[in-house]
Structure 1
């Protein structure tokens, strides 16, 4: 009986010691895991905030560099003379639309044909002759206007 009683007491002590300790250890382990997860989350938020601040600083530097370059270009453009001293003649910008010579030719041909038809007794012949003469005169007047405006380079 002594032998049986000692076995029961030993078993009871082992079971009671194991069960309480395991529960406490599991609880401690869960708390530690929760604390590590919270610190990782907090750390990642801190890293994200630091990254945002660094990006903002970089963006500000880029804006400042662009502003500096733009001001330098403006100053450089202002310091250069606007006239050209080279021997080459600068080409004027191409203008769109009808040239003065084309307008003069059309107007002169119309006016000459109308005037020739009114003056000559044979209407067709007068209109043709008047149109050709008017077109020639209108072209010469329009070409002179084109040279003065710079659309056509004058002959030297």
Structure 2
């Protein structure tokens, strides 16, 4: 009796997992085409926005240059080049990588001390492994937020 109930339960679970709706290859191709078209359209919109922003910035630079030229008469050199430098805002506080390394190291040291019979050795190994893992996770988070390249 137990075997029969077990077999019936297994058969019922396998039957429940069967997906009755199977999309045809044409429907799949259409949906993939729509997704690709959407992504292409988004990239064109981003490129147009970037181009408009660059044009706006160029016009602002020309206006600033003409305002500076109007204030002080200077000799114009048509063969000069200009360079621009960007100053980054000073980053304050701990980075996510540093926070992750400290938290991972502490958690690893505690876990290693609890697991290993020799508490010191376990704490050192666990702390090193935890700090490394925490650093990698925090570094990934910094890359996503733009703090690290």
**Scaled by the length of structure 2, what TM-score is found?**
0.42
The structure with more radius of gyration: 1
**Scaled by the length of structure 1, what TM-score is found?**
0.40
Structure with more helix by fraction: 1
